[in-house]
Amino acid sequence: MVKRNLHLAKLQSGYLFPEITKRKKAFLEKNPSAELISLGIGDTTQPIPSLIANSMAITAEALATPDGYSGYGPEQGHFNLRQAISEQVYQGKRPADDIFVSDGSKCDIGRLQILFGGQASIAVQDPSYPAYVDTGVIMGQTSTYHPLSKQYSGITYMPCTPENSFFPSLEKLPRTDLIFFCSPNNPTGAAATYEQLSQLVDFAKQNGSVLIFDAAYACFIRNPNTPRSIYEIEGAEEVAIELGSFSKMTGFTGVRLAWSVVPKELRFEDGHLVQNDWNRINSTFFNGASNIAQSGGLAALRPEGLKAIKELTTFYMENATMLKEMFEALGYIVYGGVDTPYIWVHFPNQSSWEAFEMLLEKSHIISTPGSGFGPAGEGFLRFSAFANRANIIEAISRLRRALHKLDRV
């Protein structure tokens, strides 16, 4: 018999969201008439703006004609879309040939792990998006899981807590080859400042590290003084790869379209261009994003599409404000909800899973346990504002009833 991949065997009981799904199923088996509202997974709920959907429909219909049919596209993405990303997202500061279009940032995270290999050491924010750690474990960048600390040996965790303003104490960190950093952050909602990102870029330069900057939620930033891209920091092109996504800003979670930026200035220790190897990885593992999805991405980056994106992201941020204000009125310590539609709420007298189960039982609300994002997330719940307005209003009503009598001291 074929032996199991030992690295996969190192993964813990399950990826966070399948575990939530399992508990949801068990609850519904006992309470079949319950009307659950999910504020858990960060999945969009609002329709794709019509002008973007229409562009994809036209492309899809054209595939049924001799003149409109197209097969494989370039693995790097259609150049007109790469050029539009360059101009609209980066104001021309990152050239189109530095940009690689893909089928999703999560896929890119996995392919980046392949690019750098199992020998690369990694650092991740704590708490952070689980895919950074899990893909590293699968690649063999760790040896052992320690249940007491809830950490893997071989991976450096960078605590990002209210005590350090959700930015790691860089002076306490060892050198690693890769540094995964998400801003605005999922799950805490914290967005790093220019000063903080400048420190991070300097730290990467001093240590010869590559910074993998996840900017999937940059479209929600409302503060004009908050950087949307790592390339707003001087010299970042020498040390940083950036990931961007259409998922949340256009409702493309099911359509699948994203991009990565790998500057030509970024080199390996031997002087070889990282971009060349990234191009090879994409050409080997990937046949290019859907032609239909790319037509939608191009429409999204035209003036009318950008206006529609602003309206869509504003809607979700209004949801976030409503949730945030409700929790604060009840006396909870709340973070996020300013530059991302995630609310990070502290439940000081319960573990994350205890708080999750309590709200599931008392209010029929699904949240996301903070401990699933890392040890520093213990005692927190993440609430997603990616919901329709009626569900947000109903969820607020239920949560008020369930929580107003609880002790938060």
**Residues 206-249: tens digit of each pLDDT:** 999 999 999 999 999 999 999 999 999 999 999 999 999 999 99
Q: Is 54 annotated as a binding residue?
A: no
Q: Is 42 annotated as a binding residue?
A: yes
Between CA 284 and CA 5 the distance in angstroms is: 22
**Residues 341-368: tens digit of each pLDDT:** 999 999 998 999 999 999 999 999 999 9
pLDDT at 409: 43
Q: What are the structure tokens assigned to 349, written together?
A: 């007298």
- Judged against a pLDDT cut of 70, whether residue 14 lies above it is answered with no
**Residues 162-178: tens digit of each pLDDT:** 999 999 999 999 999 99
Report the pLDDT averaged over residues 264-292. Answer: 97
Q: How far is CA 338 from CA 226, 297, 317, 384, in A?
A: 11, 26, 7, 13
Q: Is 287 annotated as a binding residue?
A: yes
Q: Is 90 annotated as a binding residue?
A: no
Between CA 246 and CA 329 the distance in angstroms is: 34
**Residues 94-129: tens digit of each pLDDT:** 999 999 999 999 999 999 999 999 999 999 999 999
pLDDT at 405: 59
Between CA 7 and CA 283 the distance in angstroms is: 25
What percent of the chain stands above pLDDT 90? 89
What percent of the chain stands above pLDDT 70? 96
- Judged against a pLDDT cut of 70, whether residue 195 lies above it is answered with yes
Q: Is 145 annotated as a binding residue?
A: no
* pLDDT band (50, 70, 90) for residue 143: low
**Residues 329-348: tens digit of each pLDDT:** 999 999 999 999 999 999 99
CB contact set of 316 (below 8 Å; sequence gap of 6+): 44, 46, 220, 248, 341, 385, 386
Q: Is 217 annotated as a binding residue?
A: yes
Q: Is 5 annotated as a binding residue?
A: no
**Residues 260-273: tens digit of each pLDDT:** 999 999 999 999 99
pLDDT at 150: 67
- Judged against a pLDDT cut of 80, whether residue 151 lies above it is answered with no
Report the pLDDT averaged over residues 126-142. Answer: 91
* Chain-centre distance for alpha carbon 43: 11
- Judged against a pLDDT cut of 90, whether residue 376 lies above it is answered with yes
Between CA 112 and CA 108 the distance in angstroms is: 6
Q: Is 50 annotated as a binding residue?
A: no
Q: Is 246 annotated as a binding residue?
A: yes
To the question of pTM greater than 0.75 for the whole model, the response is yes
Q: What is the mean pLDDT of the chain?
A: 94
Q: Which domains does the chain have, with CATH numbers?
A: 6-48+309-403 (3.90.1150.10), 50-304 (3.40.640.10)
